[in-house]
């Protein structure tokens, strides 16, 4: 087969592939838009229903068929949510526990990931295998043993009893380690040749190049700790150390009937801090992605 024949066949193949892509392009784009709309509906409709229900009067909530807009909007649900339980105490406790836990997990996750990716020491791979194994163990399995230990230490109804057992960083270590390993070796070696020590290498090189991943890790950590329910519920008996998700359960039933107005109102109030944090950190994550694309 001559070189000219090979070129002609290769050209025909390219034209055929281009035609196939041009015909399938509109269908793929339509499918993509349809998937986006379905995903948006799945996420947005429940949130819309929560917000609308928080402004409904109690008879309107149980109307059949369900009404998508309140006939007589009221803020009684928010008043009952704030003053029906020690809302301020539960909110304060959630802020303290989430703040301390998130900061601890982020710092420990970054440091452990840095050690497992960019430092050399005996048994490094074995330690990482243990971290991976920890990811495979559900938290519910360790609840009984942790509860017995914390009770023996006398830490029930204390912040340390809630915070310390939840301070594991297996997920953060795994996530940040993969990010640090993706940094080009040439950049790491150049920084070391310039005299950068371990901490300077982490602070000046590794973290600036890992900003989007670090922000994503922070968002996931904050949201998870804010919504944590089971362990704070087991460790706290009242508003002295109880978190906001635990406090919301006090609004669920009145005379055997769930009073959904205050419950939905409290849910909206509980979502606001996390939403604010997400919007602030998302902006920084987008800046980090843009900066990385420009540098690349």
Q: What is the pLDDT of residue 148?
A: 92
14 vs 221: CA distance, rounded Å: 47
Which regions of the chain does DSSP assign to beta strands (E)? 253-254, 257-258
Cβ–Cβ under 8 Å, residues 217 and 194: no
Bridge partners (DSSP) listed for residue 253:
258
Question: Per-residue confidence of the chain (296 residues) as pLDDT tens digits?
Answer: 455 565 556 555 665 555 555 555 667 778 778 888 888 888 888 888 889 988 988 888 877 787 788 888 888 889 888 888 899 899 999 999 999 999 999 999 999 999 999 888 888 889 889 888 888 888 788 898 999 999 999 999 999 999 999 988 888 899 999 999 989 888 888 888 888 888 888 888 899 888 888 988 999 899 999 999 999 999 998 888 999 999 888 887 655 667 788 889 998 999 999 888 888 887 766 655 554 433 44
Q: What is the pLDDT of residue 94?
A: 94
Q: What is the pLDDT of residue 41?
A: 82
Domain 76-295 matching CATH 1.10.10.60: the answer reads: no
Comparing CA positions, the residue from 293, 132, 281 lying closest to residue 216 is: 281
Q: What is the pLDDT of residue 292?
A: 44
Q: What is the pLDDT of residue 291?
A: 46
Q: What is the pLDDT of residue 255?
A: 59
Q: What is the pLDDT of residue 294?
A: 36
Q: What is the pLDDT of residue 296?
A: 42
> How many other β-carbons are positioned within 10 Å of the β-carbon of residue 53?
21
184 vs 188: CA distance, rounded Å: 7
Task: Check: pTM over 0.85? Answer yes or no.
Answer: no
Q: What is the pLDDT of residue 114?
A: 92
3-state helix, strand, coil in the chain (%, to 5): 80, 0, 20
Q: What is the pLDDT of residue 125?
A: 87
What does the domain layout of the chain look like in residue ranges?
3-54, 76-295
């Amino acid at each position: 087969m001559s070189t000219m024949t090979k070129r002609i066949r290769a050209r025909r193949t390219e034209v055929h592939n281009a035609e196939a892509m041009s015909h399938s392009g509109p269908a793929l784009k339509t499918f993509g838009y349809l998937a986006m709309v379905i995903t948006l509906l799945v996420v947005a409709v429940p949130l819309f229903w929560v917000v609308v229900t928080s402004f409904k009067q109690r008879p309107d909530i149980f109307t059949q068929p369900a009404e998508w807009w309140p006939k007589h909007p009221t803020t009684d649900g928010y008043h009952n949510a704030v003053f029906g339980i020690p809302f301020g105490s539960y909110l304060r406790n959630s802020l303290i526990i989430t703040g301390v836990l998130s900061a601890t997990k982020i710092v420990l996750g970054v440091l452990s990931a840095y050690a497992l990716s960019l430092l050399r020491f005996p048994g490094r791979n074995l330690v990482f295998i243990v971290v991976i194994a920890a990811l495979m163990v559900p938290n519910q399995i360790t609840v009984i043993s942790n509860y017995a230990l914390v009770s023996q230490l006398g830490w029930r109804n204390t912040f340390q009893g809630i915070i310390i057992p939840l301070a594991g960083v297996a997920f953060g270590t795994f996530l940040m380690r993969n990010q640090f390993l993706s940094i080009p070796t040439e950049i790491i070696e150049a920084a070391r040749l310039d005299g950068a020590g371990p901490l300077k290498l982490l602070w000046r090189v590794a973290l600036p190049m890992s900003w989007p991943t670090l922000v994503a890790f922070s968002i996931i950590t904050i949201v998870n700790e804010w919504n944590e329910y089971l362990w704070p519920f087991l460790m706290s008996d009242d508003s002295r150390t109880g978190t906001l998700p635990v406090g919301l359960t006090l609004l669920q039933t009145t005379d055997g009937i769930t009073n959904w107005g205050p419950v939905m109102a409290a849910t909206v109030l509980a979502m606001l801090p996390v939403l604010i944090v997400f919007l602030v950190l998302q902006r920084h994550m987008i800046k980090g992605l843009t900066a990385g694309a420009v540098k690349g």
